[in-house]
Amino acid sequence: MKVRSYLLSLALIILIPVVVFSGLAVARLHDAFHRSSEENQMEIARSIALAIDQELTSAKSALRVLAASSFLEAEDFSAFYQHAKVANIGETGWVILYDAKGDQVINTRVPYGTPISTARDRRELLRVLETTEITASNLFFGQGAKQHVLTLEMPVILPSGKKYVLSQVFLPEHFHLAFAARQISADWLVGVFDRNGTIIGRSHRAEKYIGKPVIASMKAAISAQREGTLHHHTSDGIEVFDVFTQSKVSGWTVAVGAPVAIIEKATNHALFLWIGGLIIASVVGVGFAAHFSRRLVRAITDSAESAVMLGKGLRPTRSAMTRIMEVDRLNSALNDTAALLDEERASRTAAEAEREHLLKSEKQARLTADEMNKAKDHFLAMLSHELRNPINAITAGISVFELNLGREAVAKAVKVMQRQGTHLQRILDDLLDVSRALTGRLSLKTQRFDLSRLVANSVASLQAAGRLSDHELTVSTVHAWADVDPVRAEQILTNLLDNAVKYTPSGGQIQVSLQAIEQHAVLTVRDNGIGISPELLPKIFDVFVQADSSLDRSRGGLGIGLSLVKGLVGMHGGTIEAESNGLGSGSTFTLRFPLQEAPHDEVLEPEETNGFKPGSVLLVEDNDDARELFAMMLESSGYNVLQADNGATGVRIAAEELPEIAFIDIGLPGMNGYQVAEQIRNSPITKSISLVALSGYGTENDLWQSANSGFDRHLVKPVKLSDLVATIVALRDQSAATKR
């Protein structure tokens, strides 16, 4: 076999593995891209289904609140209409109350008293009344709305025995928000279908397809399984790869489809590159083999001639590179060695670069871990310090009681313990709030509210606590209405004012201004305190970040207040900015909320109760210390307190003494607080007793479970005397209003 044939065979031997393995790599890339696309589609579909579930769950809660309305129980439909009007969801949702005949009693989409001719199919109404759960409908054409609608419906049976059906009506576009704001590829198609396979929403050309059935293959797929995939053509004739999942609350289906052409585009591009690279590599390999074979044959021929000439004692007449055998071999060896050295050097350089990159990555990871450990240790140290100070003060106050140092000393100790107990409660509330905000479990109860009242309330609260006595405060406000949760909004402003006081020396100036600028309510808190350093300013809203890191911790705090503030502002649809010219230059925090129109009818605030008649109160608590202290607080306010240390005793005392109100701890041994409440409610003797739950938990699920078990109120520990008294007064007022 000739040298040229050997070289050509060598080129082919090299190319064949390259072709095989690169083909396998392209196939793996194709499969990986498909899996990644499918997982991404499923993640988007599940997130949209979860958003729909959350919206329906919120609507269910609103229906339950409306069902428990005292106005509905009293059949005061005018007042109930105003109550239900609050539950309206903008222009895309309204509330309807049907009577047992199927006639509409109220419809919040039209003014109260407007004649309503549209009646309900009585058979469908009876089906709703036979159920005990809130059910979500399929899409249907609403005769009154003159368009397709969806409903959540709840049967209501009044104590009088009358039956009604509460219906929360939604327009289909209400659920478009579940996917309209998401970062979804413009080429992808998102659809929402009801249990019958009717289209509720669509990301493309929704107005054409809403109310129409899905294609048969999709309907068969969603009927057969809760989640899955489907390869088919859409109604527009586009070949798509669909993934779908069903809502747990409504049973509706969310499908996310990606055009097959888009998915295949990337893999086809890789395939074209592979084929092109293969052709180029083949041409280069074969050409190089042919060219090198010619040079090699010429070199061998020249070497043979040089050897013959050397054998004859003649010097080669040709160049040393082609006519002298030793020089040709040397040059070939040197060239091969140089080539090998270049490859080895390049390999070594690449290995060194990779090693350097790994070292830098490892070093950065170690630094990040060290910073995280330091942040953790720093936070734990701050938390320990913040907890030890009030606990130390409370312990000292207890010692004052034990030493019996006199009435004045005891009074001071009580004030100190109250102040430090409030401080502990605030630390716990901030930790829980920031945890809920970071995990998305914090909810808002928004209403149209005048922010000038918010400023007045926050300033009054701090003044009452003596926090502003050492500073010069200037307040300038206008009437500016926004949709906010008043409690959370006051928490935001109080936190900013508290920071301004904390970081402004005595005698300093604090300015609070509220303006209506264009479409925003702009709230500004400015001080001339210690300011913010340029290094700290970009991360001032990060969790566990604060300006003061001195050993004495004179300004206190855990570094979570501003992080919580930013999270709450964002949940309200607002923005917050921090400005400072550096240390010693003061700070400015600017809040912006979307400005809203003032309500047409001013809602009168309920009159404060100036006094109450002491009555009989039952306290069921297994912790002896807590029960005795609660009893002392209530007895000091003139109440006759009955005590029980377990659920069974509490049920017995309730039946024997018939107290006006019962405070019941949830975490009781044996029979828990929910079971105690259910027994009291189910007894005709004790069912009218007002029940208040005492618990260390206060999530939405805890509140729902308390209400579902028969409790009228839910108080989260620790509970102050003012909370107990306010709850008793509110329950008495509610009871009196019900009797009227």
- Six-digit token pair at 85? 């009007």
- Per DSSP, the three-state class of 325 is helix
**For the segment 422-470, what is each residue's pLDDT rounded down to a tens digit?**
667 767 766 766 666 666 666 788 899 999 988 988 887 777 667 788 8
**For the segment 678-688, what is each residue's pLDDT rounded down to a tens digit?**
999 999 899 99
Residue 549 has pLDDT above 50, yes or no: no
Neighbours of 75 (CB within 10 A): 13
Average pLDDT over residues 203-212: 84
Q: Which pLDDT value is given to residue 115?
A: 82
CA distance 106 to 144: 13
Residue 362 has pLDDT above 90, yes or no: no
- Block residue for tokens 């009555």: 615
Q: Which pLDDT value is given to residue 694?
A: 92
**For the segment 11-52, what is each residue's pLDDT rounded down to a tens digit?**
677 768 777 776 776 677 667 767 787 888 888 888 888 888
Task: Give the least confident one: 281-290, 336-345, 673-682, 730-739.
Answer: 336-345
DSSP state string for 8-74:
HHHHHHHHHHHHHHHHHHHHHHHHHHHHHHHHHHHHHHHHHHHHHHHHHHHHHHHHHHHHT-HHHHT
Average pLDDT over residues 718-727: 79
- Six-digit token pair at 197? 């396979």
CA distance 357 to 354: 5
Largest CA distance in the chain: 137
Domain ranges of the chain: 1-323, 339-442, 444-594, 616-739
pTM of this prediction?
0.38
Q: Where are the beta strands (DSSP E) in 543-601?
A: 575-579, 587-594
**Strand 147-157 relative to strand 239-246, pairing:** unpaired
Q: Give the CB-side neighbour count of residue 399, counting CA atoms within 13 A.
A: 6
Whether the CB-CB separation of 299 and 322 falls below 8 Å is answered with: yes
Whether the CB-CB separation of 648 and 690 falls below 8 Å is answered with: no
CATH number for 444-594 (one of 3.40.50.150, 3.40.50.10540, 3.40.50.720, 3.30.565.10): it is 3.30.565.10
Choice between 631 and 579, residue whose per-residue pLDDT is larger = 579
CA distance 338 to 316: 26
Amino acid (one-letter) located at 574: G
The share of the chain scoring above pLDDT 70, in percent, equals 76
Architecture in CATH for domain 1-323? 2-Layer Sandwich (3.30)
Residue 137 has pLDDT above 80, yes or no: yes
Average pLDDT over residues 402-412: 75
Average pLDDT over residues 251-268: 82
**For the segment 602-623, what is each residue's pLDDT rounded down to a tens digit?**
443 433 333 333 479 999 999 8
Taking the alpha carbons at both ends of the chain, their separation in whole angstroms is 115
- Which numeric CATH code is attached to 339-442? 1.10.287.130
Residue 214 sits at φ, ψ, to 5 deg, of -75, 170
Q: Which pLDDT value is given to residue 550?
A: 44
The share of the chain scoring above pLDDT 90, in percent, equals 24
**For the segment 159-172, what is each residue's pLDDT rounded down to a tens digit?**
888 989 999 999 98
Whether the CB-CB separation of 529 and 542 falls below 8 Å is answered with: no
Whether the CB-CB separation of 462 and 494 falls below 8 Å is answered with: yes
CA distance 492 to 425: 17
**Beta-bridge partners for 201:** 192
CA distance 150 to 192: 12
Task: Give the least confident one: 62-71, 229-238, 522-531.
Answer: 229-238
CA distance 91 to 170: 9
Read off the pLDDT band of 561 (50, 70, 90): confident
Q: Which pLDDT value is given to residue 89?
A: 74
Q: Which pLDDT value is given to residue 194?
A: 92
Q: Which residues contact 733 (CB under 8 A, 6 or more apart)?
A: 606, 609
- Six-digit token pair at 616? 């009989």
* Best-predicted range by mean pLDDT (118-132, 238-252, 381-395, 622-636): 238-252
What is each CA distance from 538 to 541, 577, 587, in whole angstroms?
A: 8, 10, 13
DSSP state string for 234-246:
-TTS-EEEEEEEE
Whether residue 599 is preceded by a cis peptide bond, meaning omega within 30 degrees of 0, is no
**Strand 199-202 relative to strand 135-136, pairing:** unpaired
Whether the CB-CB separation of 249 and 53 falls below 8 Å is answered with: yes
**Beta-bridge partners for 524:** 513, 590
| Fold (CATH) for 616-739 | Rossmann fold (3.40.50)
Q: How far is CA 417 from the centre of its chain?
A: 36
Residue 692 has pLDDT above 90, yes or no: yes
Amino acid (one-letter) located at 506: S
CA distance 316 to 324: 6
**For the segment 68-115, what is each residue's pLDDT rounded down to a tens digit?**
899 998 999 999 999 988 877 777 889 999 888 888 889 998 898 888
CA distance 470 to 536: 27
CA distance 432 to 436: 6
Read off the pLDDT band of 554 (50, 70, 90): very low
Determine what percent of the chain falls in helix, strand and coil, rounding each to the nearest 5. 50, 20, 30
Q: Which residues contact 593 (CB under 8 A, 6 or more apart)?
A: 451, 482, 484, 520, 521, 523, 569, 572, 573, 574
CA distance 510 to 613: 43
Task: Give the least confident one: 172-181, 219-228, 318-327, 441-450.
Answer: 318-327
3-state secondary structure 453-475: HHHHHHHHHHHHCCCCCCCEEEE
**Beta-bridge partners for 448:** 483
Task: Give the least confident one: 337-341, 359-363, 572-576.
Answer: 337-341
Whether residue 390 is preceded by a cis peptide bond, meaning omega within 30 degrees of 0, is no
Whether the CB-CB separation of 152 and 60 falls below 8 Å is answered with: yes
Residue 588 has pLDDT above 50, yes or no: yes
CA distance 392 to 399: 11
Whether the CB-CB separation of 689 and 661 falls below 8 Å is answered with: yes
Choice between 359 and 381, residue whose per-residue pLDDT is larger = 359
DSSP state string for 670-705:
SS-HHHHHHHHHHSTTTTTSEEEEEES--SHHHHHH
Average pLDDT over residues 40-65: 88
DSSP state string for 289-305:
HHHHHHHHHHHHHHHHH
Residue 316 has pLDDT above 80, yes or no: no
Query: Mean pLDDT for the chain?
Result: 80
